[in-house]
A and B are shown apart, each in its own frame.
Chain A
Amino acid sequence: MLAYILRRVLQTIPVMAFVALFVFSLLYIAPGDPAAIIAGDQATPADIARIHAQLGLDRPFLVRFADWAWRVLHGDLGVSIFTNLPVSHMIAQRIEPTLSLMILTMILSIVIAVPMGVLAAWKQGTLIDRAVMLNAVIGFSVPVFVIGYVLAYIFALQLEWLPVQGFTSISQGFWPFLRTLILPAVTLGGIYIALIARITRATMLEVLSQDYVRTARAKGLGQNSVLFLHALKNAAVPIATVIGLGVALLIGGAVVTETVFAIPGLGRLTVDAILRRDYPVIQGVVLLFSFAFVLVNLLVDLTYTFFDPRIRY
């Protein structure tokens, strides 16, 4: 088991190295002088010269990459061109809202979507099943900001149950914190719920036709015990995989959700960085999110043995 974990961790290193190389070289693959790209349309030659020196463009590419990678490994993501603050510092300031939003969304989505999928599979072909599937198609089709605006319009503007926008830190109490995050989490969860519900239903249908489920029924187990203890546990591996892969959707969605609900998180930081063409910040955020994504999927891989003891490494 330990050997497997070690091997799996080692396997992620080339992937992360490639991501780092790719994110770093994007700036140089793009046509034109990188310093001019970063400086933008209204830059003076002096600006361009300053950025040119800042990027160290007179040195060879691989030397620059090695230098940059070495600093990234030490937590130094460079300096923002717009604010002149260290990027790692800016990220640290903004990470709490994004992390809270994503964790809450994951919990909420799994709690809603898995029972939904199980129910749909159990009642296959009925109206409930069709309703769940229709819900999933709609979840895939309605863009995240549209869900956000509709929910905010109904629950914040019309009913005035929840705040329209903003973020309250958890240090100011759990209830105010939760109140500001409910709408954003439901918004962000839309597509994630659709994804998880669909895969849960599909895997459950496959598992429910297995012999051991018939045996469990034949020996007189209750419906809940058959569905959740026997069937769901055997369906867990594909579901966990999709939950891990779906984090990519959550990351993309968080950028939009934070814009809709004016949450001062990493997504908002990214959007501001785009508008100011602050490439070091974009680079830092993309790198951080990609590493987080790889890490989540690594953790998901490691849960497989828990769900399915037959998986031995």
Chain B
Amino acid sequence: MSAVLPGDPAAAPTLPDVLPPVRRRGAVMRFVVRHPTIVAGGALIGLMIFIAICAPYLHTVDPTALAPARRTRAPSPQYWFGTDMLGRDIYSRVLYGSRVSLIVGFSVALLASVIGMLIGLVSGFVRWTDALIMRIMDGLMAIPGILLAIALMALTRGSVQNVIIAITVPQVPQVARLVRGLVLSLREQPFVEAATASGSRFWKIAFRHILPNTLAPLTVQATYICASAMITEAILSFIGAGTPPIIPSWGNIMAEGRALWQVKPYIVFFPAIFLSVTVLAVNLLGDGLRDALDPRAAGRL
């Protein structure tokens, strides 16, 4: 058998390019095209974090400075979002208010995930605790989340820290259930058997082999918790059971604008828009992450 060498007259002529040339995109562009929701959500969240951190430098004044002479001014070049019934600048208050929402959202997502994950791991691994822990979680889940948060807030003094605790408690059972379910199916997998057979200790199996496999669904769940925590914080503040009124938060601004909303709707609408867009961004990120991490479910839910 004779090899066909390059340049050999017997070789077939090079095929003409019928297909259009493959457009070469950079890694960044490829990511944007594949995961538009992650990029859009992430960019919006990034913008909000920027606003929260740089609030003092974005043409704001002291958000708590009273100016009774300039009460309830409509939006104007001087007061971009107008002023509230105590003459405070709503633009400044809304920008500073982003801090509370973001801190509460991220803290609750982190705390609920970590606590729920630990409870779920124990419940899934240690058989005799399973029934007891899951009954307690069922009981906690039977109390509607916002009501549980309201009851907790009614017992404590209003502070950002207490708001975070009150919103975290109702979120923990769902994470615990999710992680428990994952652990129960993962512990039967061959790679865990292999680890057990090769003499790995319990903790090593739990943290090296099981835990990393729960992280993807847990991350998705955490983004949804973050979004719902932001809404719950606003609801608690709105009904007067949340962040103390001295601290500007979106819920507080809306709670104060409530009495005047029929005549001065902009007091309620500016924080409402910021809150909705931020929560939308977190939800988009969550949807995008879910599709990216579990391609099988993509486009279904």
Interface residues of A (CB under 8 A from B): 14-16, 18-19, 22-23, 26-27, 30, 37, 125, 137-138, 140-146, 149-150, 153, 157, 164, 198, 201-202, 205-206, 247-249, 251-253, 255-256, 259, 270-271, 273-275, 277, 279, 282-283, 285-286, 289-290, 293-294
Residue of A nearest to B287 (CB): A137
- Asked if B225 CB lies within 8 Å of chain A CBs, one says no
A141 to B227, CA, bound (A): 8
Give the interface centre of A142, A153, A294 by most chain B CB atoms within 10 Å. A142
Select one of A18, A138, A249, A256 contacting B239, CB under 8 A: A256
Contact among A143, A251, A256 for B279, CB-based, below 8 A:
A143
Instruction: Answer whether residue B294 sits at the interface, using C-beta atoms and an 8 A cutoff.
Output: no
Question: When the two chains form their complex, are residues A256 and B238 in contact, meaning their CB atoms are under 8 A apart?
Answer: yes
Nearest 6 Cβ contacts at the A-B interface: A252-B146, A18-B139, A141-B280, A30-B155, A248-B144, A146-B272
Is there an interface contact between A282 and B280, defined as CB atoms closer than 8 Å?
no
CB <8 Å contact, B147 and A259: no
* A23 touching B156, Cβ below 8 Å: no
Q: Mark B181-213, 1 if CB is under 8 A from A, else 0.
A: 000000000000000000000000000000000
Given contacts A22-B139, A252-B235, contact A138 B144 (CB under 8 A): no
Chain A residues with CB below 8 A from B276, complex form? 141-143, 146
Q: A149-B265, A252-B145 are in contact. Are A283 and B284 (CB under 8 A)?
A: no
Other than the known A256-B238, A289-B144, what 19 A-B pairs have Cβ atoms closer than 8 Å?
A19-B139, A19-B143, A26-B155, A30-B155, A141-B276, A141-B279, A142-B279, A143-B272, A145-B254, A146-B272, A201-B301, A205-B300, A251-B146, A255-B146, A255-B239, A270-B150, A274-B241, A285-B147, A290-B142
List residues of chain B with CB within 8 A of the CB of A198: 301
A-B contact count (CB 8 A): 136
Cβ of A22: which chain B residues have Cβ within 8 Å of it? 139-140, 143
| Across-interface contacts of A275 in B (CB, < 8 A) | 240
Is the pair A290, B143 in contact by a Cβ cutoff of 8 Å?
yes
- Chain A residue, CB-CB nearest to B141: A248
In the bound complex, do residue A140 and residue B268 qualify as a contact, i.e. CB atoms below 8 Å apart? Answer: no
Provide the bound-state CA to CA distance between A251 and B275, in Å: 21
Once bound together, how far apart are the Cα atoms of A149 and B269, in whole Å? Answer: 8
* Contact status A279-B155, CB under 8 Å: yes
Closest to A260 in B: B258
Shortest distance from the beta carbon of B284 to any chain A beta carbon, whole Å:
7
Contact across chains for B238 and A282 when beta carbons are under 8 A apart: no
Listed by A's residue number, 12 A-B pairs whose Cβ atoms lie within 8 Å are A15-B135, A140-B227, A140-B283, A141-B276, A141-B279, A141-B280, A143-B234, A251-B147, A274-B154, A275-B240, A282-B154, A286-B143
How many angstroms between the C-alpha atoms of A48 and B139 in the bound complex? 32
> Which residues of A are found within 8 Å of B227, using beta-carbon distances?
140-141
A23 touches B268 (CB 8 A): no
Which residues B15-53 have CB closer than 8 A to chain A?
A: none
B261 at the interface (CB under 8 A from A): yes
Whether, in the assembled complex, B2 has its beta carbon less than 8 Å from a beta carbon of chain A, the answer is: no
| Pairwise interchain contact A23-B151, C-beta atoms closer than 8 A | yes
B90 contacts the other chain (CB 8 A): no
| B234: A residues at CB distance < 8 A | 143, 145
Q: B172 contacts which chain A residues (CB < 8 A)?
A: none
Nearest CB on A from B38, distance (A): 14
In angstroms, how far is the closest chain A Cβ from the Cβ of B237?
A: 11
Bound form: Cα–Cα A77–B188 in Å: 48
Distance in Å: Cβ of A184 to nearest Cβ of chain B: 15
Q: Please tell me which one of the listed residues A15, A125, A277, A290 contacts residue B147 in the complex, with CB atoms under 8 A apart.
A: A290
Q: Are B135 and A18 in contact (CB under 8 A)?
A: yes
Contact A15 B139 (CB under 8 A): yes
Chain B contacts for A142, CB-based, 8 A: 276, 279-280
- Given A145-B238, A149-B268: A15 touches B280 (CB 8 Å cut-off): no
Query: What mask results when residues 216 to 227 of chain B are scored 1 for a CB within 8 Å of chain A, else 0?
Result: 000000000001
CB distance from A134 to the nearest CB of B (A): 10
